[in-house]
Amino acid sequence: MASAYATHAPDTTAQRIVSNPGVQRVPNPRLELYIVKQFLDPAFCARLCALIDVNRRPSTIADPNGDHYFRTSETCDLDHSMPEVAGLDALLSAWSGIDPAYGEPLQGQRYEVGQEFKAHTDYFEPGGQDFAKFCSVAGNRTWTLMIYLNQPEAGGATRFKVIDKTVQPETGKLLAWNNRRSDGSLNPATLHHGMKVRKGLKYVITKWYREKPWG
Protein backbone atom coordinates (compact mmCIF):
# COMPACT_ATOMS: atom_id res chain seq x y z
CA MET A 1 0.00 0.00 0.00
CA ALA A 2 1.34 3.44 -0.87
CA SER A 3 2.47 5.70 1.96
CA ALA A 4 0.13 8.51 3.00
CA TYR A 5 3.17 10.77 3.12
CA ALA A 6 5.03 12.48 0.33
CA THR A 7 8.57 11.39 -0.35
CA HIS A 8 11.45 13.52 0.88
CA ALA A 9 11.86 15.01 -2.62
CA PRO A 10 12.11 18.82 -2.42
CA ASP A 11 9.25 19.62 -4.80
CA THR A 12 6.59 17.43 -3.17
CA THR A 13 7.51 18.55 0.34
CA ALA A 14 7.36 22.21 -0.63
CA GLN A 15 3.96 21.71 -2.23
CA ARG A 16 2.67 20.05 0.93
CA ILE A 17 4.04 22.79 3.16
CA VAL A 18 2.48 25.66 1.23
CA SER A 19 -0.89 23.89 1.25
CA ASN A 20 -1.08 24.43 5.02
CA PRO A 21 -2.75 27.54 6.44
CA GLY A 22 -0.67 30.47 7.65
CA VAL A 23 2.51 29.57 5.76
CA GLN A 24 4.66 32.47 4.54
CA ARG A 25 7.54 31.89 2.15
CA VAL A 26 10.51 34.20 2.45
CA PRO A 27 10.70 35.79 -1.02
CA ASN A 28 14.18 34.82 -2.10
CA PRO A 29 15.02 32.51 -5.00
CA ARG A 30 18.21 31.23 -3.39
CA LEU A 31 16.52 28.97 -0.86
CA GLU A 32 13.16 27.61 0.22
CA LEU A 33 12.44 29.10 3.65
CA TYR A 34 8.99 29.12 5.22
CA ILE A 35 7.62 30.73 8.40
CA VAL A 36 4.48 29.93 10.39
CA LYS A 37 3.53 32.02 13.41
CA GLN A 38 1.77 30.42 16.39
CA PHE A 39 2.33 26.88 15.11
CA LEU A 40 2.30 25.67 18.73
CA ASP A 41 0.36 27.19 21.61
CA PRO A 42 2.28 28.71 24.55
CA ALA A 43 1.17 26.10 27.10
CA PHE A 44 2.49 23.23 24.98
CA CYS A 45 5.72 25.15 24.37
CA ALA A 46 6.17 25.58 28.12
CA ARG A 47 5.85 21.82 28.67
CA LEU A 48 8.50 21.18 26.04
CA CYS A 49 10.84 23.73 27.67
CA ALA A 50 10.48 21.82 30.95
CA LEU A 51 11.41 18.56 29.23
CA ILE A 52 14.53 20.16 27.74
CA ASP A 53 15.62 21.39 31.16
CA VAL A 54 15.57 17.88 32.60
CA ASN A 55 18.16 16.23 30.32
CA ARG A 56 20.14 19.03 28.72
CA ARG A 57 23.83 18.59 27.98
CA PRO A 58 26.50 20.67 26.18
CA SER A 59 25.86 20.89 22.44
CA THR A 60 28.39 19.51 19.98
CA ILE A 61 29.24 19.87 16.28
CA ALA A 62 29.94 17.16 13.70
CA ASP A 63 33.34 18.36 12.46
CA PRO A 64 35.39 20.15 15.14
CA ASN A 65 36.90 23.34 13.72
CA GLY A 66 39.09 24.47 16.60
CA ASP A 67 36.62 27.14 17.74
CA HIS A 68 35.49 26.06 21.21
CA TYR A 69 32.91 28.86 21.24
CA PHE A 70 31.34 27.94 17.88
CA ARG A 71 28.31 26.31 19.51
CA THR A 72 27.79 27.13 23.16
CA SER A 73 24.17 26.07 23.69
CA GLU A 74 22.84 22.98 25.45
CA THR A 75 20.99 20.10 23.77
CA CYS A 76 18.39 17.58 24.89
CA ASP A 77 17.53 14.36 23.06
CA LEU A 78 13.79 14.08 23.60
CA ASP A 79 12.18 10.78 24.55
CA HIS A 80 9.74 9.65 21.84
CA SER A 81 7.86 7.51 24.38
CA MET A 82 6.57 10.70 26.02
CA PRO A 83 3.14 11.76 24.70
CA GLU A 84 4.18 15.38 24.08
CA VAL A 85 7.18 14.32 22.02
CA ALA A 86 5.39 11.62 20.01
CA GLY A 87 2.49 13.99 19.34
CA LEU A 88 4.74 16.77 18.07
CA ASP A 89 6.71 14.35 15.92
CA ALA A 90 3.49 13.14 14.26
CA LEU A 91 2.26 16.71 13.81
CA LEU A 92 5.46 17.78 12.02
CA SER A 93 5.39 14.79 9.68
CA ALA A 94 1.75 15.41 8.81
CA TRP A 95 2.39 19.12 8.28
CA SER A 96 5.44 18.60 6.05
CA GLY A 97 4.20 15.47 4.31
CA ILE A 98 7.48 13.69 5.03
CA ASP A 99 7.21 10.06 6.09
CA PRO A 100 8.27 9.89 9.77
CA ALA A 101 10.66 7.05 8.89
CA TYR A 102 12.98 9.69 7.39
CA GLY A 103 13.11 11.78 10.55
CA GLU A 104 15.83 12.03 13.16
CA PRO A 105 14.66 12.00 16.79
CA LEU A 106 13.46 15.38 18.00
CA GLN A 107 16.04 17.56 19.72
CA GLY A 108 15.63 20.52 22.01
CA GLN A 109 18.17 23.30 22.48
CA ARG A 110 18.56 25.82 25.30
CA TYR A 111 20.54 29.07 25.10
CA GLU A 112 21.54 31.17 28.08
CA VAL A 113 22.75 34.76 27.92
CA GLY A 114 25.79 34.98 25.65
CA GLN A 115 25.30 31.57 24.09
CA GLU A 116 25.03 31.12 20.32
CA PHE A 117 25.54 28.79 17.37
CA LYS A 118 27.77 30.57 14.87
CA ALA A 119 27.03 30.52 11.14
CA HIS A 120 26.61 26.94 9.93
CA THR A 121 24.60 24.72 7.62
CA ASP A 122 22.55 21.77 8.90
CA TYR A 123 23.74 19.32 6.26
CA PHE A 124 26.95 17.36 6.67
CA GLU A 125 29.81 18.43 4.42
CA PRO A 126 30.78 15.55 2.08
CA GLY A 127 34.45 16.30 2.71
CA GLY A 128 34.06 16.47 6.48
CA GLN A 129 35.95 14.05 8.70
CA ASP A 130 32.71 12.69 10.21
CA PHE A 131 30.65 12.53 7.00
CA ALA A 132 30.71 8.72 6.75
CA LYS A 133 29.90 8.36 10.44
CA PHE A 134 26.77 10.50 10.23
CA CYS A 135 25.56 9.79 6.67
CA SER A 136 26.47 6.21 5.78
CA VAL A 137 23.06 4.81 6.77
CA ALA A 138 20.43 7.52 6.34
CA GLY A 139 22.17 9.88 3.94
CA ASN A 140 22.38 13.63 4.37
CA ARG A 141 19.82 16.00 5.85
CA THR A 142 17.09 17.28 3.57
CA TRP A 143 14.61 19.47 5.48
CA THR A 144 14.97 21.31 8.79
CA LEU A 145 11.92 22.20 10.90
CA MET A 146 12.66 24.42 13.91
CA ILE A 147 10.24 25.87 16.44
CA TYR A 148 10.93 28.67 18.90
CA LEU A 149 9.44 27.62 22.24
CA ASN A 150 9.74 31.03 23.86
CA GLN A 151 10.75 34.62 23.20
CA PRO A 152 13.90 35.79 24.99
CA GLU A 153 13.82 39.29 26.42
CA ALA A 154 16.57 40.30 23.97
CA GLY A 155 18.61 38.62 21.25
CA GLY A 156 18.45 35.04 20.04
CA ALA A 157 17.44 35.74 16.44
CA THR A 158 18.27 33.41 13.56
CA ARG A 159 20.11 35.13 10.72
CA PHE A 160 20.34 33.56 7.28
CA LYS A 161 23.52 35.31 6.27
CA VAL A 162 23.64 34.64 2.53
CA ILE A 163 20.21 36.18 1.90
CA ASP A 164 20.50 38.73 4.77
CA LYS A 165 17.27 37.58 6.41
CA THR A 166 16.92 37.75 10.20
CA VAL A 167 14.05 35.95 11.93
CA GLN A 168 13.11 37.02 15.44
CA PRO A 169 12.14 34.35 17.98
CA GLU A 170 8.48 34.27 18.97
CA THR A 171 6.76 31.64 21.09
CA GLY A 172 5.41 28.88 18.87
CA LYS A 173 6.86 30.19 15.59
CA LEU A 174 8.03 27.52 13.14
CA LEU A 175 10.76 27.83 10.53
CA ALA A 176 11.13 25.24 7.77
CA TRP A 177 13.81 25.20 5.12
CA ASN A 178 15.13 22.92 2.43
CA ASN A 179 18.82 22.16 2.84
CA ARG A 180 19.05 21.34 -0.88
CA ARG A 181 18.53 23.13 -4.16
CA SER A 182 15.84 22.07 -6.60
CA ASP A 183 18.31 19.75 -8.36
CA GLY A 184 19.01 17.92 -5.09
CA SER A 185 22.47 19.40 -4.51
CA LEU A 186 23.38 20.87 -1.11
CA ASN A 187 22.47 24.53 -0.75
CA PRO A 188 25.10 26.76 0.94
CA ALA A 189 22.56 29.61 0.98
CA THR A 190 21.04 27.89 4.03
CA LEU A 191 23.98 29.18 6.11
CA HIS A 192 22.44 30.52 9.32
CA HIS A 193 23.56 31.90 12.68
CA GLY A 194 21.76 31.28 15.97
CA MET A 195 22.65 34.68 17.39
CA LYS A 196 23.59 35.37 20.99
CA VAL A 197 20.88 35.71 23.60
CA ARG A 198 21.27 39.11 25.23
CA LYS A 199 18.70 38.76 28.02
CA GLY A 200 16.68 35.81 29.28
CA LEU A 201 16.68 32.27 27.90
CA LYS A 202 15.92 30.80 24.48
CA TYR A 203 14.45 27.37 23.83
CA VAL A 204 13.95 25.72 20.44
CA ILE A 205 12.88 22.33 19.10
CA THR A 206 14.56 21.01 15.95
CA LYS A 207 13.48 18.21 13.61
CA TRP A 208 15.76 17.06 10.79
CA TYR A 209 14.80 14.74 7.95
CA ARG A 210 17.16 12.55 5.91
CA GLU A 211 17.48 11.21 2.37
CA LYS A 212 16.83 7.64 3.56
CA PRO A 213 15.00 6.08 6.51
CA TRP A 214 16.61 6.82 9.84
CA GLY A 215 18.53 4.07 11.59
Cα–Cα distance for residue pair 123/156, rounded to 1 Å: 22
- pLDDT one-digit tens code per residue, 55-80: 998 886 666 666 666 778 999 999 99
Mean pLDDT, residues 1-10 taken together: 46
The Cα-based distances of 63 to 60, 67, 78, 127, 160 in angstroms read 9, 11, 23, 10, 21
Q: Is 188 helix (H, G, I), strand (E, B) or coil?
A: helix
Cα–Cα distance for residue pair 213/211, rounded to 1 Å: 7
Cα–Cα distance for residue pair 116/114, rounded to 1 Å: 7
Mean model confidence pLDDT for the chain = 91
- pLDDT one-digit tens code per residue, 17-65: 999 999 999 999 999 999 999 999 999 999 999 999 999 988 866 666 6
The helix or strand, by DSSP H or E, that contains position 132, with its residue range, turns out to be helix 131-135
The pTM (predicted TM-score) of the whole model is 0.92
Cα–Cα distance for residue pair 87/74, rounded to 1 Å: 23
Mean pLDDT, residues 194-210 taken together: 97
Q: What is the pLDDT of residue 1?
A: 34
CATH number for the segment(s) 10-210: 2.60.120.620
Q: What is the pLDDT of residue 57?
A: 87
